[in-house]
Amino acid sequence: MQDKSFSTKAIHEGEEPKLEKGQSGDVVAPIHLSTTYARSVLEVPTSGFEYSRSENPTRNALEAKLAAIEQASYGMAFASGLAAETTLIFALLQQGDEIVASDDLYGGSRRLINSFAKFGISVRYVDTTNVDNIKCNDNTKMIWLESPTNPLLKLTDIAAVKNNMTNTDVTLVVDNTFASPFFQNPLKLGADVVLHSTTKYIGGHSDVVGGAIMVNQKHLYEKIKYFQNALGGVPSPFDSYLTLRGIKTLAVRMEKHQQNALAVAKFLEENPKVKNVVYPGLSSFAQHQLAKKQMSGYGGIITFFINGGYKEAKSFLESLHVFALAESLGGVESLIEHPASMTHASIAKEDREKIGITDNLIRVSVGNEDVDDLLRDLSSGLTQV
């Protein structure tokens, strides 16, 4: 599958039918529930499988597919995005090490990284949209970026960060959840590790929580793989199956997310009840040129500021019928949320406003419905305000 294009790999990789006599020839990877595997001789596992926390055939199929869609040498699947992140930190860092991270990191990642303080691993948050702000000292062992960020969709020039890195001991990590592997491949831009919450676009149907890590370097793979088994944060066979099933349509979903999002962004930009729209695909987007350079598309997330404040945002959000008022993103169903009250409520109001998450900010995850229905819903909602 190495030389094939995105959807061919997304559909077939890890699931090639086994056609030898005695094999069933499944065209879809079966859900292998067995937790343990018998052997015929004492010393070695006959089939290569021993115990399902370490290796499981359904999870292996998912890991092959995850590697293929990110054009990586190795993929590893986890029980959640945060399980992947926990494993990564445990595998690569030790007491005294420092992480330099984007100041606009996903809230759950921030809470997790901060928790490692009790093991003597510190973090310094900087505005990575200006790559010159990233300064490593002797203790810095990891740079952790998210691009685009949540909910302000700020971009960091990944290739420029890599170019500025002089110390080869530092690992460059990119959380690629928002762009998905269809629109951005950070390993090609110089990242050492790519992270995903597969709960979002990769799974794509809001029905399975999961995480992934993709790498090209064997030494990174071996360290992370060791801790995948040692910490045990692995997905079940059924979760693996659902994620495998989701990935097959990633390309068509992403195309439709983007097509709908562009129409919604343009509609919002022209509506008098809307103050400002943030979407990387708009020419008004501050980092539109960078988006064009490092991404092959702009994704399905839009952030906008409604005229007014909390009251206007609330009356608009509660009047929608097609958009579900819910956290999370990346599924085929359109979701809308109020970061100040929902995803970012744990950040103190003062700090929230400092990073630009005001009470009139609304985040939209544009789904795969018919765009006319989406536009009518938004239009009627804005009329009520």
Ligand X SMILES: *Cc1c(COP(=O)(O)O)cnc(C)c1O
Q: Which residues are catalytic?
A: 53, 106, 175, 200
Residues 150, 206, 303, 334: which binds ligand X (CB under 6 A)?
Answer: 150
- Contact range with ligand X by CB under 6 A, out of 45-53, 103-111, 227-235, 372-380: 103-111
Give the whole-angstrom CA distance, residue 360 versus residue 103.
Answer: 21
Binding of ligand X by 109 (CB under 6 A): yes
Exposed e or buried b per residue across 53-66, where buried means at least 16 C-beta atoms within 10 angstroms of its C-beta: ebbbbbbbbbbbbb
Closest-CA residue to 133 (of 171, 94, 161): 161
Binding of ligand X by 146 (CB under 6 A): yes
Residues 141, 200, 253, 352: which binds ligand X (CB under 6 A)?
Answer: 200
Residues 15, 31, 50, 108: which binds ligand X (CB under 6 A)?
Answer: 108
Binding of ligand X by 82 (CB under 6 A): yes
Closest-CA residue to 76 (of 236, 215, 232, 218): 215
- Residue 174 β-bridge partners: 145, 194
Site string for ligand X, 35-74 (x = CB under 6 A): ----------------------------------------
Cβ(309)–Cβ(359) below 8 Å: yes
What's the min distance (Å) between Cβ of 211 and ligand X? 5
Closest residue to bound ligand X by CB: 81
Binding of ligand X by 344 (CB under 6 A): no
- Contact range with ligand X by CB under 6 A, out of 50-58, 102-110, 120-128, 297-305: 102-110
Closest-CA residue to 244 (of 198, 189, 195, 177): 198
What's the min distance (Å) between Cβ of 20 and ligand X? 37
Q: Which is nearer to ligand X, 80 or 360 (CB)?
A: 80
Strands (E), the chain: 74-78, 98-102, 122-126, 140-146, 171-175, 193-197, 211-215, 274-278, 301-306, 324-325, 335-337, 361-365
Contacts of 8 (CB under 8 A, 6+ apart): 1
Give the whole-angstrom CA distance, residue 243 versus residue 260.
Answer: 23
What's the min distance (Å) between Cβ of 30 and ligand X? 25
Residues 106, 201, 298, 323: which binds ligand X (CB under 6 A)?
Answer: 106
Tokens of 48: 């290569």
Binning the chain into helix, strand and coil, the percentages to the nearest 5 are 35, 15, 45
Binding of ligand X by 337 (CB under 6 A): no
Please give the DSSP secondary-structure letter assigned to residue 36.
B
Exposed e or buried b per residue across 246-267, where buried means at least 16 C-beta atoms within 10 angstroms of its C-beta: bbbbbbebbebbbebbbebbeb
Binding of ligand X by 257 (CB under 6 A): no
Residues 199, 216, 240, 258: which binds ligand X (CB under 6 A)?
Answer: 199
What's the min distance (Å) between Cβ of 85 and ligand X? 7
Number of residues this chain uses to bind ligand X (CB under 6 A): 16
Site string for ligand X, 154-193 (x = CB under 6 A): ---------------------x-xx---------------
Sign of CA dihedral 265, 267, 270, 275: negative
Residue ranges in contact with ligand X by CB under 6 A: 80-82, 106, 108-109, 146, 150, 175, 177-178, 197, 199-200, 209, 211
